[in-house]
């Protein structure tokens, strides 16, 4: 959690920090959190001037763990001081990007790392009321958050005059109601204000006019949960993880056709080849076909990108994004057209409807892709897909539209021949049964 | 933004547009009195009333199992918005049901990764096994079947949820056995999390009222095998 002596693999690639306590019984309790070095950061922060806390986090090199990678300390610095308005901290725990599954196990097993981080962040930006916007569909996580906040109040880590410092903080846990778009920070704020979750025009940015038109920081769960360790162990400790421009530790979530899917924590910049070695490789008898570096909205990669460093620069250099380090692994049994069609149906379903390029564009993309997958497509449809993507990308109101085009344009780039095979062969050449987890079992568990 | 959010005062008079409230009967007086007390505790968590609208709709759903015109009116009155505005919000979010549904909402993740790993096969099998389509409820009123989007458990694929609790690493057979057990009224526990409660009990937790059952927080342990696999590898506990 925040212990500087956290275990690491012999090669130093895996270094669990936030996940260090996850195999302890009752890992979510305050007692366990303290045993692993929790609540050493907050007292240090409270003894510093708030601006020094911001400077420390800035110097640590921590960049947003929710996908965009914006420097966290800089976000805090943008909050105007002495403006007479209340300031708000809102934690984005809406984790809904397809493939992304790091914040939910983190909050389930170690919620207090977030609660301590929130107290430090709130102190730094001079905020006395903070919110956790948790997606509603994860009730077991909600239970743990309710419990963690209550434990923190009882121990004097929340409430009035925290640890005798004169600093007050209340935290409200807020459950959403099912909408991917609420992971977009301005849509999240509208939702938290009791509205339909639709993105806002920027500027003004949330740092100036966010929640209730007051200065607001919106941070991802893992970003905030990483802060106590920086306070407790120092910025050099944090910079000891990762690469120069992508400092620190991060959770890498492997899913799909790997032997041991799961959460692997280490410094940013690890490669997929290294992660696959830890995870036992691709399932036996199969080979990697395509993968996403950080969720479905990050352009897909292939076998030739196995040695690219999984950090912000490494992924940007390949024309994709690090995103949420949601590594969805697909082997050669998977039809890329089927995969992309399903993601596109998701974006069309989740498009909030506010802007025309995304609302109409995602609808037509689904129609074209369904026809292609069913063997009813024409070659001209491939140009049409590209054309519609071009009319969405950069022209939609928020990043959802851009994200919707990522799987299509990247798959057309890497697997155009497979789209064409659906057209010339008048159908999908793949057997979906071969991709299931039970496909290679002798008993045929599919029943 | 609108006038409602342009200021910073904690309690502002809502902008009412003179639109008449949608016709809806009120809750019976004793129910209304109980829900009003709950609503006050929801409102106390927020600097501005309207922010309570989502939890108030969860609260209304916890009373009736879905969001009725009565529930919308109740939530609107407490949040200080018109019933038209509250309806607009209630219809935007997928977790608010708009018709009576089962005690157990069985959601099969059919987003790409789970679908490929077996979610599509499980969903098709359950449709046939239960004799219902997407969003439909079994005749006994027990199970509503839905396909759901990515629920942040991809390392446990294929994933099902029942009343938003995780059932990890499912197969066609385990999913059929699960719905059979739900329909038979057996106690069922998810892979991670507390023993199942009904949909309305879940809605109350979502409204921000902690699960009152002893042991509910502890149930399910710290994490399943995929959550721990990287940690074990780092410790050299796994080849």
Peptide bond into A203 cis (omega under 30): yes
Partner A contacted by B84 (CB < 8 A): no
The verdict on a CB contact (< 8 Å) between B232 and A23 is yes
* Cα–Cα distance measured from residue B205 to residue A171, given in angstroms and rounded to the nearest whole number: 17
CA distance to partner chain A, nearest, from residue B2 (Å)? 10
Nearest to A143 among B89, B95, B194 (CB): B194
* Binding-site sequence positions of B: 109, 114, 150, 154
In degrees, rounded to 5, the angle at the alpha carbon of residue B44 between the alpha carbons of residues B38 and B45 is 105
* Helix (H), strand (E) counts: chain B: 9, 4
- Is the separation of the CB atoms in A74 and A107 below 8 Å? no
* Cα–Cα distance measured from residue B222 to residue B107, given in angstroms and rounded to the nearest whole number: 23
Quote the pLDDT of residue A6: 83
Distances (CA, A) of B226 to A135, A175, A262: 21, 25, 4
How large is the ipTM?
0.96
Which chain B residue's Cα is nearest to A212?
B5
- Whether A214 and A85 share a structural domain: yes
| CA neighbor of A292 nearest in space, from A246, A349, A343 | A343
- Best CATH choice for the domain B104-187 from the list 3.40.640.10, 3.40.50.300, 3.40.30.10, 1.10.10.10: 3.40.30.10
A324 Cβ partners below 8 Å, 6+ apart? Answer: A65, A66, A67, A95, A97, A99, A100, A102, A253, A294, A295
- Whether A185 and A72 share a structural domain: yes
- Return the number of CB contacts < 8 Å for A and B: 297
Q: What's the CATH code of the domain at A423?
A: 1.20.1440.230
SS3 B145: strand
- Whether A229 and A259 share a structural domain: no
Which chain B residue's Cα is nearest to A209?
B6
DSSP code per residue over B108-135: EE-SHHHIIIIIHHHHHHHHHHHT--TT
* Cα–Cα distance measured from residue B64 to residue B83, given in angstroms and rounded to the nearest whole number: 18
Local structure of residue B210 (DSSP, 8 states): -
pLDDT truncated to tens, each residue of chain A (447 aa)?
567 778 999 999 999 999 999 999 999 999 999 999 999 999 999 999 999 999 999 999 999 999 999 999 999 999 999 999 999 999 999 999 999 999 999 999 999 999 999 999 999 999 999 999 999 999 999 999 999 999 999 999 999 999 999 999 999 999 999 999 999 999 999 999 999 999 999 999 999 999 999 999 999 999 999 999 999 999 999 999 999 999 999 999 999 999 999 999 999 999 999 999 999 999 999 999 999 999 999 999 999 999 999 999 999 999 999 999 999 999 999 999 999 999 999 999 999 999 999 999 999 999 999 999 999 999 999 999 999 999 999 999 999 999 999 999 999 999 999 999 999 999 999 999 999 999 998 764 444
Partner B contacted by A258 (CB < 8 A): no
The verdict on a CB contact (< 8 Å) between B157 and A255 is yes
Partner A contacted by B213 (CB < 8 A): no
Which chain A residue's Cα is nearest to B219?
A140
With respect to residue A373, please indicate whether it lies within any of the assigned structural domains.
Answer: yes
Q: Which of A302, A331, A360 is the last residue of a domain?
A: A331
- Is the separation of the CB atoms in A82 and A190 below 8 Å? no
Structure tokens at B135: 């969003």
With respect to residue A403, please indicate whether it lies within any of the assigned structural domains.
Answer: yes
Quote the pLDDT of residue B8: 46
Q: pTM here?
A: 0.96
Partner B contacted by A202 (CB < 8 A): no
Distances (CA, A) of A169 to A120, A153, A189, B55, B173: 10, 10, 19, 22, 49
The verdict on a CB contact (< 8 Å) between A438 and B1 is no
- Whether A72 and A217 share a structural domain: yes
Partner B contacted by A380 (CB < 8 A): no
Partner A contacted by B15 (CB < 8 A): no
* Cα–Cα distance measured from residue B134 to residue B148, given in angstroms and rounded to the nearest whole number: 10
Task: Give the start-to-end residue ranges of the domains of chain B.
Answer: 29-90, 104-187
CATH 1.10.10 correct for B29-90 = yes
- Whether A277 and A292 share a structural domain: yes
CA distance to partner chain A, nearest, from residue B35 (Å)? 19
Give the A window 272-331 contacts with B, CB below 8 Å: 278-280, 296, 326, 328, 330
CA distance to partner chain B, nearest, from residue A317 (Å)? 26
Q: Which residues of chain B have pLDDT under 70?
A: 1-17, 238-239
- Whether A357 and A416 share a structural domain: yes
Structure tokens at A395: 């022209």
- Give the range of the structural domain holding residue A282, as residue numbers without chain letter: 251-331
What's the total number of domains in chain A?
A: 3
The verdict on a CB contact (< 8 Å) between A436 and B116 is yes
Q: How far is CA A29 from the centre of its chain?
A: 24
With respect to residue A11, please indicate whether it lies within any of the assigned structural domains.
Answer: no
Quote the pLDDT of residue A387: 98
Q: How far is CA B153 from the centre of its chain?
A: 16
Partner A contacted by B166 (CB < 8 A): yes
Peptide bond into B158 cis (omega under 30): yes
Partner B contacted by A35 (CB < 8 A): no
H or E element that contains A150: helix A139-154
């Amino acid at each position: 959690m925040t212990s500087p002596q956290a275990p690491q693999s012999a090669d130093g690639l895996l270094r669990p920090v936030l996940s260090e306590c996850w195999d302890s019984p009752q890992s979510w309790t305050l007692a366990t959190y303290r045993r692993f070095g929790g609540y050493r950061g907050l007292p240090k922060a409270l003894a510093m001037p708030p601006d020094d806390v911001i400077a420390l986090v800035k110097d640590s090199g921590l960049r947003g763990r929710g996908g965009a990678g914006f420097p966290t300390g800089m976000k805090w610095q943008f909050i105007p001081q002495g403006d007479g308005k209340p300031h708000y901290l809102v934690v984005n725990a809406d984790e809904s990007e397809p493939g992304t599954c790091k914040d939910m196990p983190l909050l389930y097993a170690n919620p207090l790392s977030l609660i301590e981080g929130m107290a430090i962040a709130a102190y730094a930006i001079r905020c006395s009321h903070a919110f956790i916007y948790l997606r509603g569909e994860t009730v077991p996580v909600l239970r743990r958050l309710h419990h963690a906040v209550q434990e923190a109040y009882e121990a004097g880590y929340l409430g009035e005059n925290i640890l005798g410092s004169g600093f007050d903080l209340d935290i409200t846990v807020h459950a959403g109601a099912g909408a991917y778009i609420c992971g977009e920070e301005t849509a999240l704020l509208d939702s938290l204000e009791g509205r339909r979750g639709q993105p806002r025009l920027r500027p003004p940015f949330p740092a100036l006019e966010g929640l209730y038109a007051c200065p607001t920081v919106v941070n991802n769960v893992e970003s905030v949960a990483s802060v106590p360790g920086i306070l407790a162990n120092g910025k050099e400790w944090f910079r000891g993880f990762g690469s120069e421009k992508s400092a620190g530790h991060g959770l890498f979530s492997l899913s799909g056709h790997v032997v041991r899917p799961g959460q692997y924590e280490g410094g940013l910049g690890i490669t997929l080849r290294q992660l696959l070695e830890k995870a036992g490789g691709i399932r036996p008898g199969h080979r990697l076909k395509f993968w996403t570096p950080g969720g479905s909205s990050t352009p897909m990669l292939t076998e030739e990108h196995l040695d690219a460093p999984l950090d912000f620069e490494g992924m940007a250099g390949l024309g994709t994004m690090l995103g949420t380090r949601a590594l969805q692994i697909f082997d050669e049994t998977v039809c890329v057209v089927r995969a992309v069609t399903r993601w596109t149906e998701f974006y069309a379903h989740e498009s909030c409807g506010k802007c025309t390029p995304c609302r109409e564009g995602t609808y037509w993309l689904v129609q074209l892709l369904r026809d292609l997958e069913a063997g009813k497509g024409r070659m001209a449809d491939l140009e049409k897909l590209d054309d519609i993507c071009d009319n969405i990308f950069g022209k939609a109101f928020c990043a959802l539209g851009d994200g919707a085009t990522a799987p299509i344009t990247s798959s057309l780039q890497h697997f155009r021949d497979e789209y064409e095979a659906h057209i010339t062969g008048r159908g999908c050449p793949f057997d979906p049964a071969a991709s299931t987890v039970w496909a290679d079992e002798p008993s045929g568990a599919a029943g | 933004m609108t006038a409602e959010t342009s200021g910073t005062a904690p309690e502002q008079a809502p902008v009412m547009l003179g639109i008449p409230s949608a016709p809806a009967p009120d809750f019976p007086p004793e129910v209304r009195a109980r829900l009003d007390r709950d609503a006050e505790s929801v409102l106390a968590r927020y600097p501005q009333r309207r922010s309570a609208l989502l939890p108030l709709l969860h609260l209304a759903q916890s009373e009736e199992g879905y969001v009725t015109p009565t529930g919308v009116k109740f939530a609107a009155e407490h949040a200080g918005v018109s019933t038209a505005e509250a309806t607009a919000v209630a219809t935007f979010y997928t977790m608010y049901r708009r018709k009576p549904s089962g005690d157990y909402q069985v959601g099969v993740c059919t987003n790409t990764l789970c679908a490929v790993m077996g979610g599509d096969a499980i969903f098709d099998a359950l449709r046939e096994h239960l004799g219902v389509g997407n969003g439909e409820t079994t005749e006994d009123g027990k199970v509503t079947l839905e396909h759901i989007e990515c629920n942040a458990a991809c390392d446990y694929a294929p994933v099902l949820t029942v009343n938003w609790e995780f059932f990890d690493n499912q197969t066609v057979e385990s999913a059929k056995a699960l719905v059979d057990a739900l329909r038979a009224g057996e106690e069922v526990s998810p892979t991670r999390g507390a023993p199942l409660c009904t949909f309305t009990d879940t809605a109350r937790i979502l409204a921000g009222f902690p699960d009152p059952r002893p042991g509910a927080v502890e149930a399910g342990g710290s994490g399943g095998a995929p959550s721990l696999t990287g940690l074990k590898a780092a410790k050299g506990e796994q080849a």
